[in-house]
Amino acid sequence: MLPEMKWVCGLTAFIFSSSLIFAEPPAESKSPRFGERLELSMSDGTRYTALLTLPKKTDLPLPVLIVLGGFDTGEKSLEQLPVDLNAIYATVDYPYKAPNQRSFLADLKEIPEIKKAIHRVDLCVDALIEKLRIDPRVNKNRMIFAGASFGAPFAITAAVRNSEIDGILLIHAFGKVESAITQQLVNKWEWWSYPIAFLLGHITWDYLAYKDPETEVRKLHSHQQVLNLYATEDEQLPIQSIQSLQTALSESPAQVTSQKAEGGHLGPGKKEVFSSVIT
């Protein structure tokens, strides 16, 4: 494994997927890091926000880890990361804010906005990378993506578009997105809902019209290192989705390492799941 991937392994217990823990951030006065907000301007005039955190005392330039998790704000993803790692963390706030009042009908009404947001994430990520390219504090030879759960497809497609990214860390990633959506619905509605959940999962994924992770990983570049971490008893993802991505990764030109960990999906009280890769 390349040196730049080794320090990334130490982050795996701190990056979490959709609807998981929201740890309290360290007190600002005691934190060894400071944050910066960047404005990302789109061609249509809309603006979004990116967030960087950097060590207060360090030599520059530094490696950068671009984190794409399942949180509705990138800031909550960065709060999960260790504060003492000598690297820059970067993320974008997803261009979508879920309503406070959630219900099945309300969620259905949000699907068109979710579709717009999903396709805008790529624009936001590329705009962030453009900012990082010209930042003298960034080591351009050590730029790595971390994609967790439903953030993983964005990390994969971004690495395809941006060949200077030399590492991708996938945490509980998946293929067969329609099956992953189905599983989320079944988890919410119980086993009896599988037929309708199956139908809605396929209709939703077809409507969202985003890139398939299996197709995209086969387009990764030969110099890129991929570390794929998956759980042996992942209750959030169906086995066929996990295996589908693993098959596609085995056919990718990238340099792929897959590593399993006992237990289920990362969440509250499950930080020990990846303790074996933090050494």
pLDDT tens, residue order, the chain (279 aa): 444 444 444 333 333 333 333 333 444 446 788 888 988 888 778 888 888 988 888 888 999 999 988 655 666 777 767 777 888 999 988 877 766 655 555 666 778 888 888 899 999 999 999 999 999 999 988 999 988 888 899 999 999 999 999 999 998 899 999 999 999 889 888 888 899 999 999 999 999 999 999 999 999 999 999 999 888 777 888 889 999 999 999 999 999 999 887 766 654 334 333 333 322
d(CA 49, CA 219): 28
Residue with tokens 């301007």: 41
| 3-state secondary structure (DSSP) of residue 58 | coil
pTM above 0.85, yes or no: no
The dihedral through the CA atoms of 202, 207, 208, 210 has a sign that is positive
Beta carbons within 8 Å of 34's beta carbon, 6+ residues apart: 53, 54, 56
